[in-house]
Amino acid sequence: MNFLLSDEQEMLRKMVRDFANNEVAPTAKERDEQERFDRSLFEQMAELGLTGIPWPEKYGGIGADYISYVIAVEELSRVCASTGVTLSAHLSLASWPIYTFGTEQQKQTYLKALAEGEKIGAYGLTEPGSGSDAAAMKTTAKKDGSTYVLNGSKIFITNGGAADVYIVFALTSPEKKHKGVSAFIVEKDFPGFSIGKKEEKLGIRSSPTTEIIMENCRVPEGNLLGEEGEGFKIAMKTLDGGRNGIAAQAVGIAQGALDAATEYAKERKQFGRSIASMQGISFKLADMATKIEAARLLTYQAAFRESESLSYGKESAMSKLFAGDTAMEVTTEAVQVFGGYGYTKEYPVERFMRDAKITQIYEGTNEIQRVVISNMLLND
Protein backbone atom coordinates (compact mmCIF):
# COMPACT_ATOMS: atom_id res chain seq x y z
CA MET A 1 0.00 0.00 0.00
CA ASN A 2 1.33 3.42 -0.93
CA PHE A 3 -0.25 6.75 0.02
CA LEU A 4 2.17 8.85 -2.04
CA LEU A 5 1.04 10.46 -5.27
CA SER A 6 3.04 9.68 -8.39
CA ASP A 7 5.31 12.32 -9.96
CA GLU A 8 2.72 12.82 -12.73
CA GLN A 9 -0.08 13.35 -10.19
CA GLU A 10 2.08 15.82 -8.22
CA MET A 11 2.92 17.70 -11.42
CA LEU A 12 -0.73 17.90 -12.36
CA ARG A 13 -1.58 19.21 -8.89
CA LYS A 14 1.03 21.93 -9.19
CA MET A 15 -0.12 22.89 -12.68
CA VAL A 16 -3.78 23.13 -11.63
CA ARG A 17 -2.90 24.98 -8.42
CA ASP A 18 -0.91 27.59 -10.37
CA PHE A 19 -3.73 27.97 -12.87
CA ALA A 20 -6.31 28.23 -10.07
CA ASN A 21 -4.30 30.83 -8.15
CA ASN A 22 -3.31 32.92 -11.16
CA GLU A 23 -6.34 32.72 -13.44
CA VAL A 24 -9.38 31.51 -11.48
CA ALA A 25 -9.01 33.08 -8.03
CA PRO A 26 -8.67 36.73 -9.12
CA THR A 27 -12.21 36.85 -10.56
CA ALA A 28 -13.94 34.35 -8.23
CA LYS A 29 -15.54 36.99 -5.99
CA GLU A 30 -16.74 39.13 -8.89
CA ARG A 31 -18.13 36.17 -10.86
CA ASP A 32 -19.96 35.04 -7.71
CA GLU A 33 -21.50 38.49 -7.25
CA GLN A 34 -22.47 38.82 -10.90
CA GLU A 35 -23.54 35.15 -11.30
CA ARG A 36 -21.32 35.14 -14.36
CA PHE A 37 -20.02 32.01 -16.09
CA ASP A 38 -16.68 32.62 -17.83
CA ARG A 39 -16.22 30.34 -20.83
CA SER A 40 -12.66 31.56 -21.32
CA LEU A 41 -11.68 29.82 -18.07
CA PHE A 42 -13.08 26.57 -19.49
CA GLU A 43 -11.07 27.15 -22.67
CA GLN A 44 -7.92 27.66 -20.64
CA MET A 45 -8.64 24.41 -18.79
CA ALA A 46 -8.92 22.73 -22.20
CA GLU A 47 -5.50 24.08 -23.19
CA LEU A 48 -4.07 22.48 -20.05
CA GLY A 49 -5.71 19.15 -20.95
CA LEU A 50 -8.05 19.22 -17.95
CA THR A 51 -11.26 18.81 -19.96
CA GLY A 52 -10.20 15.30 -21.00
CA ILE A 53 -8.06 14.15 -18.07
CA PRO A 54 -9.08 10.46 -17.85
CA TRP A 55 -9.70 9.64 -21.53
CA PRO A 56 -7.19 8.04 -23.89
CA GLU A 57 -5.37 10.34 -26.30
CA LYS A 58 -7.27 8.90 -29.27
CA TYR A 59 -10.41 10.50 -27.81
CA GLY A 60 -8.71 13.83 -27.15
CA GLY A 61 -7.81 13.08 -23.53
CA ILE A 62 -4.49 13.06 -21.72
CA GLY A 63 -4.73 9.43 -20.57
CA ALA A 64 -4.37 10.19 -16.85
CA ASP A 65 -6.25 8.41 -14.05
CA TYR A 66 -9.25 9.29 -11.88
CA ILE A 67 -6.99 10.39 -9.02
CA SER A 68 -5.63 13.10 -11.31
CA TYR A 69 -9.20 14.05 -12.11
CA VAL A 70 -10.22 14.49 -8.45
CA ILE A 71 -7.01 16.40 -7.73
CA ALA A 72 -7.92 18.86 -10.50
CA VAL A 73 -11.46 19.38 -9.18
CA GLU A 74 -10.10 19.79 -5.64
CA GLU A 75 -7.51 22.39 -6.63
CA LEU A 76 -10.01 24.43 -8.67
CA SER A 77 -12.58 24.30 -5.86
CA ARG A 78 -10.00 25.49 -3.36
CA VAL A 79 -10.37 28.93 -4.93
CA CYS A 80 -13.68 28.68 -6.83
CA ALA A 81 -16.20 25.89 -6.31
CA SER A 82 -18.16 26.98 -9.41
CA THR A 83 -15.17 26.31 -11.65
CA GLY A 84 -14.67 22.98 -9.87
CA VAL A 85 -18.21 21.79 -10.59
CA THR A 86 -18.08 23.00 -14.19
CA LEU A 87 -15.24 20.56 -14.78
CA SER A 88 -16.76 17.82 -12.63
CA ALA A 89 -20.14 17.84 -14.43
CA HIS A 90 -18.43 18.08 -17.81
CA LEU A 91 -16.17 15.09 -17.14
CA SER A 92 -18.14 12.81 -14.83
CA LEU A 93 -21.71 13.42 -15.87
CA ALA A 94 -21.47 14.11 -19.61
CA SER A 95 -18.21 12.64 -20.93
CA TRP A 96 -18.01 9.52 -18.75
CA PRO A 97 -21.27 7.91 -19.96
CA ILE A 98 -20.23 8.49 -23.58
CA TYR A 99 -16.80 6.98 -22.89
CA THR A 100 -18.35 4.01 -21.09
CA PHE A 101 -21.52 3.30 -23.06
CA GLY A 102 -21.02 5.16 -26.36
CA THR A 103 -20.42 3.66 -29.79
CA GLU A 104 -17.13 4.38 -31.55
CA GLN A 105 -19.01 6.87 -33.71
CA GLN A 106 -20.43 8.66 -30.63
CA LYS A 107 -16.98 8.81 -29.05
CA GLN A 108 -15.45 10.26 -32.21
CA THR A 109 -18.25 12.80 -32.60
CA TYR A 110 -18.87 13.83 -29.00
CA LEU A 111 -16.27 12.55 -26.54
CA LYS A 112 -13.36 13.98 -28.55
CA ALA A 113 -14.99 17.43 -28.83
CA LEU A 114 -15.77 17.38 -25.09
CA ALA A 115 -12.27 16.21 -24.16
CA GLU A 116 -10.65 18.89 -26.30
CA GLY A 117 -12.89 21.53 -24.75
CA GLU A 118 -14.51 22.47 -28.04
CA LYS A 119 -17.83 21.54 -26.42
CA ILE A 120 -19.10 21.68 -22.83
CA GLY A 121 -21.18 18.83 -21.44
CA ALA A 122 -24.13 18.55 -19.04
CA TYR A 123 -26.47 15.88 -17.64
CA GLY A 124 -30.24 16.01 -17.42
CA LEU A 125 -31.93 13.60 -14.99
CA THR A 126 -33.83 15.64 -12.40
CA GLU A 127 -37.35 16.87 -13.12
CA PRO A 128 -39.71 19.09 -11.12
CA GLY A 129 -41.49 15.99 -9.75
CA SER A 130 -38.54 13.59 -9.60
CA GLY A 131 -35.45 14.51 -7.63
CA SER A 132 -34.35 11.83 -5.18
CA ASP A 133 -36.88 9.47 -6.80
CA ALA A 134 -35.11 9.63 -10.15
CA ALA A 135 -37.14 6.74 -11.60
CA ALA A 136 -40.35 8.80 -11.37
CA MET A 137 -39.39 10.90 -14.39
CA LYS A 138 -42.08 11.95 -16.90
CA THR A 139 -40.02 12.99 -19.94
CA THR A 140 -40.84 10.71 -22.87
CA ALA A 141 -39.02 9.67 -26.04
CA LYS A 142 -41.15 8.22 -28.85
CA LYS A 143 -39.56 6.56 -31.84
CA ASP A 144 -40.64 8.14 -35.16
CA GLY A 145 -38.81 6.74 -38.17
CA SER A 146 -35.12 7.30 -37.68
CA THR A 147 -35.53 9.82 -34.84
CA TYR A 148 -36.76 9.87 -31.26
CA VAL A 149 -39.14 12.67 -30.32
CA LEU A 150 -38.48 13.91 -26.77
CA ASN A 151 -41.03 15.78 -24.68
CA GLY A 152 -40.57 17.05 -21.14
CA SER A 153 -38.32 19.23 -19.05
CA LYS A 154 -35.37 18.75 -16.74
CA ILE A 155 -34.34 21.08 -13.95
CA PHE A 156 -31.23 22.01 -11.93
CA ILE A 157 -28.92 21.34 -14.87
CA THR A 158 -25.33 22.20 -14.01
CA ASN A 159 -23.65 23.90 -17.02
CA GLY A 160 -27.18 24.53 -18.39
CA GLY A 161 -27.10 27.10 -21.18
CA ALA A 162 -23.30 27.02 -21.33
CA ALA A 163 -23.24 23.37 -22.45
CA ASP A 164 -23.36 22.22 -26.06
CA VAL A 165 -24.09 18.53 -25.35
CA TYR A 166 -26.62 17.15 -22.84
CA ILE A 167 -27.06 13.55 -21.66
CA VAL A 168 -30.85 13.36 -21.29
CA PHE A 169 -32.85 10.53 -19.73
CA ALA A 170 -36.35 9.84 -21.02
CA LEU A 171 -38.97 7.07 -21.01
CA THR A 172 -39.10 5.06 -24.22
CA SER A 173 -41.50 2.60 -22.54
CA PRO A 174 -43.33 4.47 -19.75
CA GLU A 175 -45.22 1.34 -18.64
CA LYS A 176 -41.93 -0.34 -17.72
CA LYS A 177 -41.04 2.41 -15.21
CA HIS A 178 -37.26 2.54 -14.56
CA LYS A 179 -36.70 -0.36 -16.97
CA GLY A 180 -38.25 1.80 -19.69
CA VAL A 181 -35.75 4.68 -19.33
CA SER A 182 -33.29 5.37 -22.15
CA ALA A 183 -30.36 7.78 -22.41
CA PHE A 184 -29.80 10.22 -25.28
CA ILE A 185 -27.04 12.55 -26.42
CA VAL A 186 -28.81 15.81 -27.20
CA GLU A 187 -27.16 18.79 -28.86
CA LYS A 188 -28.24 22.28 -27.89
CA ASP A 189 -29.12 23.07 -31.52
CA PHE A 190 -31.45 20.12 -32.06
CA PRO A 191 -34.93 21.36 -33.08
CA GLY A 192 -37.29 21.55 -30.10
CA PHE A 193 -34.52 21.91 -27.50
CA SER A 194 -34.38 25.09 -25.46
CA ILE A 195 -33.03 26.51 -22.23
CA GLY A 196 -35.61 27.49 -19.61
CA LYS A 197 -35.36 29.32 -16.30
CA LYS A 198 -31.93 30.11 -14.90
CA GLU A 199 -31.81 29.59 -11.13
CA GLU A 200 -30.65 32.32 -8.74
CA LYS A 201 -28.66 30.45 -6.15
CA LEU A 202 -27.18 30.71 -2.66
CA GLY A 203 -23.80 29.39 -3.78
CA ILE A 204 -21.81 28.17 -6.81
CA ARG A 205 -23.25 31.26 -8.41
CA SER A 206 -20.87 31.45 -11.37
CA SER A 207 -21.82 27.92 -12.39
CA PRO A 208 -25.04 28.26 -14.42
CA THR A 209 -27.97 26.08 -13.31
CA THR A 210 -30.96 26.03 -15.65
CA GLU A 211 -33.99 24.16 -16.80
CA ILE A 212 -33.83 22.44 -20.20
CA ILE A 213 -36.97 21.97 -22.23
CA MET A 214 -37.70 19.41 -24.92
CA GLU A 215 -40.76 20.18 -27.06
CA ASN A 216 -41.04 17.63 -29.84
CA CYS A 217 -37.25 17.65 -29.76
CA ARG A 218 -35.96 15.41 -32.55
CA VAL A 219 -32.95 13.32 -31.67
CA PRO A 220 -31.39 11.05 -34.34
CA GLU A 221 -31.58 7.34 -33.44
CA GLY A 222 -27.78 7.26 -33.62
CA ASN A 223 -27.78 9.43 -30.48
CA LEU A 224 -29.40 6.77 -28.30
CA LEU A 225 -26.72 6.05 -25.69
CA GLY A 226 -26.53 2.35 -24.85
CA GLU A 227 -29.62 0.23 -25.51
CA GLU A 228 -33.26 1.21 -25.11
CA GLY A 229 -34.25 0.52 -21.47
CA GLU A 230 -30.66 0.77 -20.20
CA GLY A 231 -30.98 4.45 -19.28
CA PHE A 232 -31.65 4.13 -15.56
CA LYS A 233 -28.57 1.98 -15.04
CA ILE A 234 -26.52 4.41 -17.12
CA ALA A 235 -27.83 7.27 -14.96
CA MET A 236 -26.98 5.45 -11.71
CA LYS A 237 -23.54 4.29 -12.82
CA THR A 238 -22.74 7.79 -14.03
CA LEU A 239 -23.65 9.16 -10.61
CA ASP A 240 -21.40 6.58 -8.92
CA GLY A 241 -18.39 8.40 -10.38
CA GLY A 242 -19.95 11.86 -10.37
CA ARG A 243 -20.42 11.72 -6.62
CA ASN A 244 -16.70 11.36 -6.11
CA GLY A 245 -16.16 14.49 -8.22
CA ILE A 246 -18.47 16.32 -5.80
CA ALA A 247 -16.50 14.88 -2.88
CA ALA A 248 -13.37 16.38 -4.47
CA GLN A 249 -15.15 19.70 -4.84
CA ALA A 250 -16.12 19.57 -1.14
CA VAL A 251 -12.54 18.75 -0.09
CA GLY A 252 -11.29 21.72 -2.13
CA ILE A 253 -13.84 24.13 -0.66
CA ALA A 254 -12.99 22.98 2.88
CA GLN A 255 -9.24 23.27 2.25
CA GLY A 256 -9.68 26.79 0.84
CA ALA A 257 -11.61 27.78 3.97
CA LEU A 258 -9.02 26.21 6.29
CA ASP A 259 -6.15 27.95 4.48
CA ALA A 260 -7.89 31.32 4.85
CA ALA A 261 -8.78 30.70 8.51
CA THR A 262 -5.24 29.57 9.40
CA GLU A 263 -3.65 32.60 7.83
CA TYR A 264 -6.14 34.94 9.50
CA ALA A 265 -5.76 33.29 12.92
CA LYS A 266 -2.00 33.86 12.80
CA GLU A 267 -2.38 37.54 11.92
CA ARG A 268 -5.38 38.55 14.00
CA LYS A 269 -4.41 39.85 17.43
CA GLN A 270 -6.77 40.07 20.42
CA PHE A 271 -5.88 40.34 24.10
CA GLY A 272 -2.34 41.19 23.01
CA ARG A 273 -1.62 37.97 21.08
CA SER A 274 -2.57 36.13 17.92
CA ILE A 275 -5.87 34.28 18.16
CA ALA A 276 -4.04 31.20 16.76
CA SER A 277 -2.15 31.01 20.05
CA MET A 278 -5.44 30.37 21.87
CA GLN A 279 -6.59 26.77 22.04
CA GLY A 280 -10.19 27.78 21.42
CA ILE A 281 -9.03 28.64 17.89
CA SER A 282 -6.05 26.32 17.34
CA PHE A 283 -8.08 23.24 18.33
CA LYS A 284 -10.75 24.28 15.83
CA LEU A 285 -8.08 24.43 13.12
CA ALA A 286 -6.77 21.01 14.18
CA ASP A 287 -10.25 19.45 13.94
CA MET A 288 -10.88 21.10 10.59
CA ALA A 289 -7.56 19.82 9.17
CA THR A 290 -8.16 16.29 10.47
CA LYS A 291 -11.63 16.03 8.93
CA ILE A 292 -10.40 17.38 5.61
CA GLU A 293 -7.63 14.81 5.51
CA ALA A 294 -10.09 11.99 6.20
CA ALA A 295 -12.42 13.28 3.47
CA ARG A 296 -9.50 13.54 1.04
CA LEU A 297 -8.41 9.97 1.72
CA LEU A 298 -11.93 8.65 1.12
CA THR A 299 -12.08 10.62 -2.12
CA TYR A 300 -8.69 9.45 -3.40
CA GLN A 301 -9.54 5.89 -2.39
CA ALA A 302 -12.74 5.88 -4.48
CA ALA A 303 -10.81 7.41 -7.41
CA PHE A 304 -8.07 4.80 -7.03
CA ARG A 305 -10.66 2.02 -7.11
CA GLU A 306 -12.22 3.43 -10.27
CA SER A 307 -8.78 3.72 -11.90
CA GLU A 308 -8.08 0.08 -11.00
CA SER A 309 -11.48 -1.07 -12.34
CA LEU A 310 -12.60 -2.15 -8.86
CA SER A 311 -16.13 -1.47 -7.57
CA TYR A 312 -16.42 2.12 -6.32
CA GLY A 313 -20.14 2.98 -5.98
CA LYS A 314 -20.26 2.53 -2.21
CA GLU A 315 -16.91 4.27 -1.71
CA SER A 316 -18.03 7.26 -3.83
CA ALA A 317 -21.26 7.59 -1.86
CA MET A 318 -19.20 7.50 1.35
CA SER A 319 -16.72 10.10 0.10
CA LYS A 320 -19.49 12.45 -1.03
CA LEU A 321 -21.39 12.03 2.23
CA PHE A 322 -18.37 12.60 4.46
CA ALA A 323 -16.70 15.30 2.35
CA GLY A 324 -19.95 17.24 1.89
CA ASP A 325 -20.67 17.25 5.62
CA THR A 326 -17.04 18.15 6.30
CA ALA A 327 -17.14 21.06 3.86
CA MET A 328 -20.25 22.47 5.56
CA GLU A 329 -18.76 22.07 9.03
CA VAL A 330 -15.30 23.39 8.16
CA THR A 331 -16.55 26.43 6.25
CA THR A 332 -18.94 27.31 9.09
CA GLU A 333 -16.03 27.09 11.54
CA ALA A 334 -13.87 29.19 9.22
CA VAL A 335 -16.47 31.97 9.35
CA GLN A 336 -16.40 31.61 13.15
CA VAL A 337 -12.59 31.99 13.24
CA PHE A 338 -12.93 35.21 11.24
CA GLY A 339 -15.66 36.47 13.62
CA GLY A 340 -17.54 39.52 12.33
CA TYR A 341 -15.18 39.90 9.37
CA GLY A 342 -16.04 36.36 8.26
CA TYR A 343 -19.65 37.38 7.87
CA THR A 344 -18.74 40.10 5.37
CA LYS A 345 -17.86 39.95 1.69
CA GLU A 346 -14.40 41.29 2.48
CA TYR A 347 -13.09 37.73 3.00
CA PRO A 348 -13.81 34.62 0.92
CA VAL A 349 -15.02 32.41 3.78
CA GLU A 350 -18.67 33.44 3.50
CA ARG A 351 -18.55 32.39 -0.18
CA PHE A 352 -16.96 29.07 0.77
CA MET A 353 -19.74 28.50 3.30
CA ARG A 354 -22.47 29.27 0.75
CA ASP A 355 -20.74 27.06 -1.85
CA ALA A 356 -20.30 24.16 0.58
CA LYS A 357 -24.04 23.72 1.12
CA ILE A 358 -24.71 22.36 -2.36
CA THR A 359 -22.26 19.49 -1.87
CA GLN A 360 -24.72 18.01 0.64
CA ILE A 361 -27.52 18.29 -1.89
CA TYR A 362 -26.66 17.64 -5.52
CA GLU A 363 -25.78 14.36 -7.22
CA GLY A 364 -27.98 12.79 -4.56
CA THR A 365 -28.63 14.39 -1.20
CA ASN A 366 -26.55 13.09 1.67
CA GLU A 367 -29.67 11.28 2.86
CA ILE A 368 -29.71 9.44 -0.51
CA GLN A 369 -26.01 8.61 -0.07
CA ARG A 370 -27.00 6.84 3.14
CA VAL A 371 -29.66 4.92 1.18
CA VAL A 372 -27.03 3.88 -1.38
CA ILE A 373 -24.47 2.90 1.27
CA SER A 374 -26.91 0.99 3.46
CA ASN A 375 -28.41 -0.84 0.44
CA MET A 376 -24.95 -1.98 -0.54
CA LEU A 377 -24.07 -2.99 3.02
CA LEU A 378 -27.25 -4.96 3.48
CA ASN A 379 -27.25 -6.62 0.07
CA ASP A 380 -23.56 -7.61 0.05
Instruction: List residues near ligand CAA by CB under 6 A.
Output: 89, 93, 123, 125-126, 132-135, 156-158, 178-179, 232-233, 236-237, 239-240, 313, 362-364, 368, 371-372
Q: What does the alpha-carbon distance between residue 194 and residue 373 come to, in Å, rounded to a whole number?
A: 36
User: Is the CB of 147 or the CB of 158 nearer to ligand CAA?
Assistant: 158
75 part of the active site: no
3-state secondary structure string, 360-371?
CCCCCCHHHHHH
Q: Considering the complex, what minimum distance in angstroms separates the CB of residue 240 from ligand CAA?
A: 5
Q: Residue 150 CB, nearest distance to ligand CAA (Å)?
A: 18
Query: Rounded to whole angstroms, how far apart are CA atoms 229 and 175?
Result: 11
Q: How far is the CB of 2 from ligand CAA (least distance, A)?
A: 28
- Shortest distance, position 157 Cβ to ligand CAA, whole Å: 6
CA angle 89, 91, 94 (to 5 degrees): 70
Residue nearest to ligand CAA (CB): 364
Q: How far is the CB of 253 from ligand CAA (least distance, A)?
A: 15
| φ and ψ at residue 124, rounded to 5 degrees | -120, 100
- Shortest Cβ distance from residue 11 to ligand CAA (Å)? 28
Q: Which of 175, 227, 363, 367 is catalytic?
A: 363
CB of 246 to ligand CAA, least distance (A): 7
Residue 309 CB contacts under 8 Å (≥ 6 apart), including other chains: none
When the beta carbons of 24 and 368 are compared against ligand CAA, the nearer one is 368
Q: Which is nearer to ligand CAA, 1 or 378 (CB)?
A: 378
- Residue placing its CB nearer to ligand CAA in the complex, 94 or 260: 94
Tell which phi-psi region holds residue 216, choosing left (phi > 0), alpha (psi between -120 and 50) or beta: left
Residue closer to ligand CAA (CB basis): 67 or 167:
167
Name the residue nearer to ligand CAA (CB basis): 63 or 196.
196
When the beta carbons of 95 and 158 are compared against ligand CAA, the nearer one is 158
Which residues are catalytic, by number? 363
